[in-house]
Amino acid sequence: MTSTSGKEPFVRISKREDLPTWNKWVIRISAILLALVVGSLFIAILGHHPLEVYHDMVTGSLGSRTARNSTIRLAIPLLGTALAIAPAFKMKFWNIGAEGQIMMGAIAATYFALFWCDKLPRVPLLMVMFLASAIAGGIWGLIPAYFKAKWDTNETLFTLMLNYIAFGIELFLQQGPWIDPKGTGFPLIAMFEKAATLPKLGGVHIGWIIVLALTIFMYIYLRWSKHGYEISVVGESQRTAHYAGMNVGKIIIRTMFLSGAISGIVGMLVVSGADYTLSSGTTGGVGFTAITVAWLAQLNPFGMVLMAMFLAILGKGANTIQTNFQIPASASKVLTGMILFFMLACEFFINYRLIFRHKERKEAVKSE
């Protein structure tokens, strides 16, 4: 590789050979330690003792039953959405539209919660809400999949733009047809009746059982099923998939319906298990944060459980230090972002290495 001036560049990026497992973990642990050190400097600049702040982040998210329950509630939509985008990402279909799919699932569930609450008993009502949210999210995922399969459109832009449409639909409903007539002048949707809310188990709504069941399902689906194998082949090479006789368009559409359906279910879990209503803040940005969860877990469903909990701990801990140390919300987000940046960066160094010009020359001399 040469530069435009004819000289070798000062640094080049080269794909690594497979590193031993222990070496990968050394890099990951080193990245976490370095993140904590840099975070400590940032905390010190803010005028606080780093160990005290880190201690409060842990105790604020795990130190009591109430804190643990709050952390788990944060982890549920993160894990569910990460599981949703995993098959699409494994197929190298970059589904950036989980936010919209979550919202459409939430809208569908809210419809039945508002207008069918007095027509169905609690269990059938929740089952209908669950099914409706899956179908609505799945259909929202089908739209970009169909265009991709038919005309090879850019799925990243398509799914991203659909997010805005979904949020526009929610805003229209919130300010018009579904506005709470008993509201206090603000355009809000009414709170759900108890029959439309998820029951609790262990202090947290049963969404945690649902996402754990989805974790097992997704692991089996991706690793052991025929569909999972086809997803892997399409992700590696669409030409190879065509040569093997696979219907690539059908696989794309089927996979994105599943991805959207699980995202839609997440929407139902949020409105029925946590918020008890629908609003523009229903998604809470989890559609984008879940990409980090899935990426750090390397699309391994069980790894996503750990990463979702880790990010939930960071999120809950960041809220705690805002209160206890009067740290601005923006500063706590910067601290969280630093930790995630180092964790994501370490994956780059696991897969690639930097080759500097003088080092390359030394290696060439030794080989001679």
Close Cβ partners of 66 (under 8 Å, ≥ 6 residues apart): none
Please state the pTM of the whole predicted model: 0.90
pLDDT in tens, the chain (368 residues): 444 445 667 777 787 777 777 787 888 888 888 988 998 999 999 899 999 999 999 999 999 999 999 999 999 999 999 999 999 999 999 999 999 999 999 999 999 999 999 999 999 999 999 999 999 999 999 999 999 999 999 999 999 999 999 999 999 999 999 999 887 778 999 999 999 999 999 999 999 999 999 999 999 999 999 999 999 999 999 999 999 999 999 999 999 999 999 999 999 999 999 999 999 999 999 999 999 999 989 899 999 999 999 999 999 998 899 888 888 888 888 888 888 888 888 888 887 877 776 655 555 545 55
Listed by start position, the domains of the chain span: 72-326
Distance, in Å, from the CA atom of 140 to the CA atom of 295, rounded to the nearest integer, reads 23
If one counts every other C-beta atom within 10 angstroms of the C-beta of residue 218, the result is: 24
If one counts every other C-beta atom within 10 angstroms of the C-beta of residue 352, the result is: 12
User: Two tokens at 246?
Assistant: 């696979």
CA 116 to chain centre: 31
Q: What is the fold of 72-326?
A: ABC transporter involved in vitamin B12 uptake, BtuC (1.10.3470)
User: Two tokens at 152?
Assistant: 């090879």
